[in-house]
Structure 1
Amino acid sequence: MNRDYSSISPSAKSLLLAKSLTNIPFVADAVKLIYGNGALEKLYHKDFDEVFLKRLVHFESRYLSLDSLLFASGSLNIIEISSGYSFRGLDLVLRHPTIYYLDTDLQGVIDIKKDLVDRLIVDEKLQLKGKLKTEALNALDGDAFSNAINQMPLGPISIINEGLLVYLNNEEKKSLCKTIHKSLKQRGGYWITADVYVKRPAPKSETNDYFSQFLEAHHVEDNKFDSFEQAEHFFLEQGFKLTTKATSVWHQLSSLKYIDIELLKKMKEQANKIGRIRETWVLKAI
């Protein structure tokens, strides 16, 4: 029996649908499993508004920027926290026999994720080379986090995340940092986070769709850092040194094919005016 996917939150569904328009591995395949084979065809023929297209570019950029730094780290032991419906782990263990990948999120997400991964492996006749484990983990539970790390093979680890810090208040961020710092001091390795967001100057609501309401309900703007300098100072206080920042992945974006010249020009002008709102960092425990 196939799982009932109705419990996937609307925000997660909207993000999954958006990413299915990109070249991010296995997202389009997962959308077919959830919505049926005709879902992508309908999506391809939709007229996308400006807000949707900006989000599409943003989330593909975030994914690729983390990939670029993870690849450069050369890590063989990887734990992804708050992974959502991303299939980075499945993609990596298909290609690298020496990789051990622990893919984690909260129980409700992981129950569905496991089913999707199992079905993708069977439907696509995938032969995994590395080791992939998909397990429930609350990253704020220090003991559970340590137990998860301890099951990984010996050697340095890479702890990675795309989106998590923006859902945590300051004390929760400190708690997560304490847990990650302890693991990295014990094992060595890096924390690679694509989740270093800074507040925008007096942002105005561009839309009132579900995703915007979700961000507002979770106080995402309030949870962002005041500036990149403040973010670096925060991490330094928690015992982390910033070692590397991801460079632009603009040339890799498959989502640019949906954006016309005028919108592209407008996006670049806005970016120059507002400045960066997100960066991907490699942090080392000191």
Structure 2
Amino acid sequence: MYKLIACDLDETLLNSENKVSSKNIEAIQKADAQGVKFVLATGRGYATVQGTLEEIGLQNKKDEYVISFNGGAVTENKDNHLLHFQGISFDLASELYKRGQDYDVAIHVYTQEDVYVYNLVEEERKHLETKMEVIEISDKNIDFLKDQAIAKVLYMNTDRDYLNQIEEDLKDITQNSDITYSSNRYIEFNDKGVNKGAGITFLADHLELDISQTIAIGDNFNDLPMLETAGLAIGVQNMVPELKEKMDYVTEANHNESAIAEVIEKFILNGEE
């Protein structure tokens, strides 16, 4: 029997208005009543997902959890108690920030609590306005963050080929990084070994669950390590097409049609294997 569901947020749990549908909320609460933990697994920071946790009734709750920063942090929802954190070095973050200024990208720098954005173009501003609050900066370096833990850095551009080329260009400084793509607009730089698969493994171990008792739900490349690790890999209908053949199950519904409720009804409430 499955005991834990790790679920991506953007384009998976959240609809196009960045909300959780009432049908999804009802299903999550039914799963919770059966002792199944519903865990947000996101590239965002844990501080920026509190609104979603409140929507689904899990904000500030003991024995409920969030996997954030693509697996770089695992927190218990009660007081955002940090169980695990693995960020990138300041030197790497600083170099990525400086090198990023040579490209047509918006640069995000994630600390444990805040997101700083350089070159916040209007397209990105609109994309973020209902997702999270960010701090816009114009500094040519991030020396002001030298004493803070940095979770990750990402670049934004909606041209995937352009981002692929940036990845090639930066290989001289990213040998010790885990690099992935998300939301069809970001290239993300985490520390080596940081991914959602490592996050769900840490949490399953913490809860003394066998990994076969876990379900992962996602839609994009940064979800793949989690999907490959979990006992059951589920993609939503709007998933990146290249990944669908790797899934154990692909929902009939997309993220605007309560795909998560479909999963919970099928594999938790009806008990299918």
What is the TM-score normalised by the length of structure 2? 0.32
Question: Which has the greater radius of gyration?
Answer: 1
What is the TM-score normalised by the length of structure 1? 0.31
